[in-house]
Structure 1
Amino acid sequence: MVSQIQPLELHPDRLFSSDPKQRELSRALYKTVANLPIISPHGHTDPSWFANNECFKNATELLIIPDHYVFRMFYSQGIKLEDLGIPRVDGGQVETDYLKIWHIFAANYHLFHATPSRMWMDFVFSEVFGFTEVFCPANAEQFYHTINEKLNSDEFRPRALLKRFNIELLATTEGAGDDLVHHAKLKGTGLEKTVITTFRPDDVVDPDNWKFQETLAKMAGQTGEDVHSWNGYLNALRKRREFFRQHGATATDHGHPSALTADLTTAECEKLFATVLSGNATAEQKELFRAQMLTEMAGMSLEDGMVMQIHPGARRNHNLQVFQQFGPDKGCDIPGRTNFVEDLRPLLAKFGTASDLRIILFTLDESVYARELAPLAGHYPCLKVGPAWWFHDSPEGMLRYRHNITETAGFYNTVGFNDDTRAFLSIPSRHDVARRIDCRFLAQMVAEHRLSETAAFDLAYDLSYRLAKEAYQLTK
């Protein structure tokens, strides 16, 4: 634990190899990509920030309360979520003294040593706010008041930060029933092609989703379709996809428990759907319904050109008590095993050879990188492998990803990097880490005479910028 104030220095060679030859080439590669525009095609920032362009109010509200990477670490050390100001589902009492919460943050900042959160936060303190000292209890109040003062200035409004961060594209993610009012408000501002939405229909295709019945009823009103008939339900989904496309969406997002897919007959679908709607479906029937809906969504993507993202394997809300008291996305989702080879077989048997279909696969199960994902993406025209994701969005995780994927799938069956974050101010740092790690990996391959320098410089650009634009259909 830091007891005295220390200088905050972001070393220019951070994350590069200690080998002098590799480090030198990493520097040269990184220099060509460090200032490229940021493409952030998969994220969870709040679109109201950019629609309303109001000043962020408070350091605690911005940097702690929305960031489950931060508060899950504190929770693991016995600090109550109520004491961190995390809102309760029942509206019960939580800490509202933001300075007090900030002091908890400072007193426990040492918990993040050697974690990605520490790298991201130090970058934010240094590069975004201009601090030259390591954050600690001794300077906590100075940081807090300085940050709040800057947040109250026009230079730190959301739209100004979009420009300052050189963000060319930022995709948010909204549920199927969302009215997209904030994206509608962006039309005519010049930002409607910078901040776009993503269609995430989990709330109407997963019977276990806590908003399933509510959103299904809402979708009926939005589309005028009879969502209690199989055909009406599918038509409603098509209309919602089109509505999202009108607000910039180029992709869909599917966070299912598994990658299971199915290809049932129409009669079987109608019967299964009726069972699901009755509320009497078994766990196996619910899983089969989710499986069928992944296949249905792939078919719709082939129709309308939307890129499909599938990221299974998160065991959502593992801590039931936290979920019941604070709701979803509170740091208690845990990685689980996945089986892509067998689970995707029905979908791929139907659509796998369609070169006009783009499916991006993410995983929290690193054991499948080399065994399943790389061979699948290295064969099926419709498949690409998403970047190291979530728990593996880290220097070591990114290196493991490249080492496991590249020999079988190559670089061009991957899709660059996405930051998948709610923490807006950390976006530049996350992309910086990804660019540094890719440059390190490329430098190692050149040093081992497995790649030419010319190819390495081309790849550095592609991995940092071009592949993401192409993968998410952002070049049209």
Structure 2
Amino acid sequence: MTQPAHLHPDRLFPSAEPARGIARELYAEVADLPLICPHGHTDPSWFAENGRFSNPAALFLTPDHYVLRMLRSRGLSYDDLGVPRKDGKPVAEGRAAWRLLAANYHLFAGTPSKTWVDHSLHWAFGITDELSPETADRIYDTIDAALATPELLPHAILDRARVEVIATTEFALDPLVHHQKMESAGTIGRVRTTYRPDDVTDPSRPAIVDNLKRFGELTGEDITRWEGLINAHRKRREYFRRFGAVATDHGVPTANTADLPLVEKQALLDRILAGRHDANDAELFRAQMLTEMALLSVDDGMVMQIHAGSRRNTDPLLFTERGPDLGADIPGTTDYVGGLKALLSRCGNEPNLRIIMFVLDETTYARELAPMAGYWPSLMIGPPWWFHDSPQGIRRYLDQVVETAGFYNLAGFNDDTRALLSIPARHDVWRREVAGFLANWVAEHRLTRSSASDIARHLSYQAAKDAYRIS
């Protein structure tokens, strides 16, 4: 019987010797290192409650927008895939949704989603059979039985995956009830939060006025005054740090920043609170708030992540029926050089500032991100993200950024996922691709074998700890 591709020990390694042999050796040195997961979107209730996952579909299908969007592209209904609706109308039960996934699993050939699912099925459940209509029920029952055991509870999964640190991401108005529970249980530190203020910094959100009012009530600040608004952020950042936060996160359509005089900032805020802002005002407010967040990071040391370039929730029907972040997001072009000019001019030389740049526009790797990180001490390049955290995406990334930025201006790897079991799969792909990339350079006598070993360990583990200032 042919060995499944995802179980082959040389998967993703260079095809030719001696590079393939060197890649094997480098990978062996990093394969079992602990995982640092400083940014992601796993549900904090999983870690606060440590309860069992309800069924296999809830683990592999409904939280994974990568999987959902592919099935949607072939005309499958989110109702039939079991994705909850805002109106509470019934959707498919777990087994029915799972069978539908299995019947269409061939659609994922060549995609990273298949790599992650196959890896997860084997890693967590010992399953080597391909998911298909014939194996669907047997695999479902195997997973379902395992989910009832202590070994598949969330904390046990973190232990098995050797997760040293994992960060969830919460909005500014989030009460952090799950993190409060973890604080009481003494698990804050391993599981941390991240401050994402988009709910009060993005005026394109329909509820922005109400959100800002709630923000003022939550912090006791007068957010109708610009100074009060910034003080409100200062207080919430401090609150988030109580629950382990070391970073902020900003999901913005562009990387534009601004540095307006106070009178113009106040006038902009007045228009937004009055509901009289337009799209240009929304962009300007987001731009100014990125600069304000950088200035706050200069004060408190929180690492600033800028996730730019996604045109989010482009399907209004899906958004209305079920909410955000379910697959209808498309990359856009990004200008980091012009976009960050105002911010960097204001505080780019501050020694306490660290900004990690994430981009979906791969044309910026060699032209913008690598030269910027190769000069500004406050800038680092985030790993390939979202549509590009794939084997080919990682190869394109390393090929384009390393020659200008070097290895030590890279922030290591973030899994950035909502699917818990895909975390070890994603890190494994990263480590294999790093090993393969370095092996080729050793074979070409561009790196010594000992340097490659040091760099592989750095990019697989230490880089993320250093970038996010995790002690």
> Same fold judged by TM-score > 0.5?
yes
Q: Is the 8 A contact 1:8 1:132 kept in 2?
A: no
Give yes or no for contact 1:359–1:382 (8 Å, CA) kept in 2: yes
- TM-superposition CA deviations, 1:334-353 (whole Å, max 9, x none): 00001111111110101111
Q: Give 1:323-472 correspondences, 5 Å limit.
A: 323-472=319-468
Distance 1:216 1:344 in 2: 25
Residues in 2 aligned to 1:395 and 1:349: alpha-carbon distance in whole angstroms: 36
Deviation at 1:9, TM superposition (A): 5.5
* Separation of aligned partners in 1, 2:2 and 2:100: 17
**1:429-461 superposed Cα distances (whole Å, 9 cap, x missing partner):** 000000000010000111111111111000000
Taking only aligned residues, the RMSD between alpha carbons, in angstroms, comes to: 1.4
One-letter code aligned to 1:49 = W
Asked if structure 1 preserves the Cα contact closer than 8 Å seen for 2:14 and 2:20, the reply is: yes
Describe how 1:23-422 pairs up with structure 2 within 5 A: 23-95=20-92, 97-422=93-418
Q: Which amino acid aligns with 2:14?
A: S
**CA contact under 8 A between 1:203 and 1:210: conserved in structure 2?**
no
Q: Which consecutive unaligned segments of at least 5 residues does structure 2 have?
A: none
How far does residue 224 in structure 1 lie from its aligned partner after superposition?
0.9
Which SS does the other structure have where 1:69 is aligned? helix
Secondary structure at the aligned position of 2:356 is classed as strand
Q: Within 2, Cα distance between the matches of 1:126 and 1:435? A: 18
Would the aligned equivalents of 1:262 and 1:295 in 2 still touch at CA under 8 Å?
yes
Point out 4+ residue stretches in structure 1 off by more than 4 angstroms: 4-9
> Conserved in 1, the CA contact under 8 Å of 2:6 and 2:115?
no
Shift of 1:7: 5.7
C-alpha distance in 2, partners of 1:201/1:253?
A: 7
Q: Any idea what SS the aligned residue of 1:411 has?
A: coil
Counterparts of 2:249 and 2:145 in 1: how far apart (Å)? 37
Change (3 A) 1:423 1:39: same
Once the two structures are TM-superposed, the CA of residue 6 in structure 1 deviates from its matched residue by 8.5
Q: Give CA deviations for 1:230-285 in whole Å, capped at 9, x if unaligned.
A: 11111111100000000100000000110000000111111111011111112111
CA distance in 2 between counterparts of 1:240 and 1:165 reads 32
Counterpart secondary structure, 2:304: strand
Asked if structure 1 preserves the Cα contact closer than 8 Å seen for 2:131 and 2:139, the reply is yes
Letter in structure 2 aligned against 1:189? A
Structure 1 position 208, deviation (Å): 0.8
Q: Aligned equivalents of 2:309 and 2:376: distance in 1?
A: 21
Matched residues in 1 for 2:412 and 2:71: separation? Answer: 31
Structure 1: give runs of 5+ residues left out of the alignment: none
Q: Structure 2: which amino acid aligns with 1:67?
A: D
Partners of 2:6 and 2:119 within 8 A in 1: no
Contact 1:172 1:195 in 2 (8 A): yes
Does the CA-based 8 Å contact 2:209-2:275 persist in structure 1? no
Residue 8 (structure 1) shift = 7.3
Q: How does 1:1-20 map to 2 (within 5 A)?
A: 10-20=7-17
- Structure 2 SS opposite 1:252: strand
Deviations 1:33-77 (A, max 9, x none): 000000000100001101111111110111101111111100000
Question: 1:315/1:282 Cα in 2 relative to 1: closer, same or farther (>3 Å)?
Answer: same
Q: CA deviation at 1:145?
A: 1.1
Q: Distance in 1 between matches of 2:455 and 2:75?
A: 44
Deviation readout 1:75-119 (Å, 9 max, x if unpaired): 000101111111122223322x22111110110011111110101
In structure 2, give the amino acid aligned to 1:440: G
Q: Distance in 2 between matches of 1:455 and 1:20?
A: 19
Deviations 1:380-406 (A, max 9, x none): 110000001110000000000001000
SS at match of 1:360: strand
| Counterpart residue type for residue 82 of structure 1 | D
Kept after mapping to 1: 8 A contact 2:209/2:272? no
TM-score by length of 1: 0.97
Q: Distance in 2 between matches of 1:315 and 1:66?
A: 20
